[in-house]
Amino acid sequence: MHCIVPHLRGLSVYNRPDYTMMHNCFLKLMSKYKVKFSDKFDWETEEQCASLCKASPKPAAYENAAEFFASDPIGINDAPPPGQSTKSTATMD
């Protein structure tokens, strides 16, 4: 976890954060504290947890999010070149 804050502070508004690194930090924490995505929250009853687990037998998509965080569909990681307009010409019709 200690590497997340320095990483974020080193970014500019145009840089893409390393989401994979942050995701892996949280996964390591979960492993260290033996926490699973399917663990119940303090405010959930055993009945609620059993009902939710029964309704969703497959793991949620966010449990295997490495591919999602590694993707970069927009491809922006730098400021626009000098002279290029940053204003959008798209309209909201």
Reported as a single tens digit per residue, the pLDDT across 6-32 is 999 999 888 888 988 999 999 999 999
Reduced to 3 DSSP states, what percent helix, strand and coil does the chain have, rounded to the nearest 5? 40, 0, 60
Q: What number of H helices and E strands is found in the chain? A: 4, 0
Q: Would you state the pLDDT for residue 25?
A: 92
Q: Would you state the pLDDT for residue 86?
A: 63
pTM of the predicted protein model:
0.67
- Segment 53-59 shows an average pLDDT of 79
Q: Would you state the pLDDT for residue 90?
A: 59
